[in-house]
Structure 1
Amino acid sequence: MVMPARAAADDTDWRSFSGGIAPGATIEQIGQDRGFTCTLGLIAGDPASHRLYGITAGHCDRTGDARSPVVHFSEADSPDVARPLGTYIASRDTDGSTPTGNDELPLYTDAGVIAMQDGVRIASFKIAGVYPVRGVVGDRKDLPYGTEVCKYGMRTGETCGPITVASKYTITAEVRAIHGDSGSALYRKNNDGTVDVIGLASNVDDETGTTQFFWVAPVLKALKLQVCGCGAN
């Protein structure tokens, strides 16, 4: 059973869930002298193979700088135990480079896809263990100026605000985020308690107080993945 991790009053350096991994948790690759941390945005599945994948930002893939390509997480019940999540199979940074993989992902994105190891415990497929995913928004016409959206990051928890621009490749919103929130899922809440997923947190503009997100729909389409989040967990 997952313990829902709702928005915290204060920023945190690490976020984990009881019983396993969930979207919104901290993920980390271990470098030579420090760790590289980001947020697991979503868990997606391949309907054909039934394999599970973690989705985050592409610039979070630090395989070239890490001691090991393995991405780790921890559980709330044993926060000091680094548990293997998996390894990146594809990633693309905002400059078009591919830290891992070839050209599986769209050219204009900031997305990383982690093949989850067999046996990884899932605390919840729901974002933050709270929000079931109903669908994926892929058309900017569905996100007019002022649409209220939220993200859930491992540093700042859930923060919400209006969309200022929805363009072909990115969405900009007045949603607070800081270093470590990269990879957070951007979502729109529905009246039934579910959410529609929109994008992945990429970078922050401190001067304007906005965060830029890249659309996640093209990433899922490219790898033929479906977002998990509607089951009992």
Structure 2
Amino acid sequence: MTLGGGSGIIVEQLDDPGMAADCTLTAVGRDGADRLVGLTAGHCGQVGSRLLAEYDPKAGVVGRITAKSEEMDWAVIEFDPARVVPTRRVTQSEINGVGGAPGVGDNVCKNGRTTGFTCGIVWETHPAWFASHVCADHGDSGSPVLRGDQLIGMVVAGKDFQVGPITVPLPSCQGAGDVIHQPDAATDIQMVLRDIDRQAGPGAGFRLI
């Protein structure tokens, strides 16, 4: 089956048998050991968790989480190369490279299994993450954040809107056309890839194919 950044996945929850989490792939490629791997948010599962493709769960297990970081909130998935065909294009998004961090005011887009392909303005930036007005909700964790066709981030959480010292709680986004919703935090993909390289395990040397 074909999977890429923006594809929905179902992730086994080893700490809660019988349960599964809906998440989104950030990207699929190969690592320095030529393994077929994918990236998603670390809170989606545990090392050893099995994965199904959301659009065809009856096809069975397509991969497992083999590395993750709680602090940086990333996970590496090793796919069965006999069962997965990688793609750079999923619906409206196409990933043709890895870009640098955005600036405040940049327009970025994300592709997620829950709320689809949506775009918004970057509100704030930090060394390891940024917040934008892209629409995301539960299940969009791991969604690729793009500037054009360049992968620049991974959606990991919603956050309250800050106006100076005032915190404005807002609801999560329900889908395209929902204008008033909380910003969404995304990790800087360059920081994520450097952290994966530092661990020198599965996913190190990640490259798009």
TM-score by length of 1: 0.70
1:147 & 1:219 partners in 2: Cα distance? 20
In the TM superposition, what is the alpha-carbon distance from 1:80 to its structure 2 partner? 5.0
**Counterpart among 95, 98, 110 of residue 133 in structure 1:** 95
Contact kept, 8 Å, 2:28 with 2:87, in 1: the verdict is yes
DSSP 3-state at the match of 1:115: strand
**Counterpart among 64, 68, 79 of residue 91 in structure 1:** 68
Q: Which of the pair is proportionally richer in strand? A: 2
- Counterparts in 2 of 1:72-111, with a 5 A limit? 72-75=52-55, 79-93=56-70, 96=71, 109-111=72-74
Report the RMSD for the aligned CA atoms in angstroms.
2.1
DSSP 3-state at the match of 1:21: strand
**Counterpart among 24, 30, 37 of residue 53 in structure 1:** 37
1:147 & 1:80 partners in 2: Cα distance? 37
How many residue pairs are counted as aligned between the two chains? 179
In the TM superposition, what is the alpha-carbon distance from 1:84 to its structure 2 partner? 1.5
DSSP 3-state at the match of 1:220: helix
2:155 & 2:128 partners in 1: Cα distance? 13
The residue type paired with residue 45 of structure 1 is R
In the TM superposition, what is the alpha-carbon distance from 1:164 to its structure 2 partner? 0.8
In the TM superposition, what is the alpha-carbon distance from 1:225 to its structure 2 partner? 0.9
**Cα 1:119/1:186, change in 2 over 3 Å:** same
In the TM superposition, what is the alpha-carbon distance from 1:43 to its structure 2 partner? 0.5
Identity %: 26
Q: Which structure 2 residue ranges, 5 or more long, are not aligned?
A: 160-168, 171-180, 198-203
TM-score by length of 2: 0.77
Q: Which structure 1 residue ranges, 5 or more long, are not aligned?
A: 1-18, 97-108, 190-194, 229-233
In the alignment, what sits opposite 2:164?
none
DSSP 3-state at the match of 2:96: strand
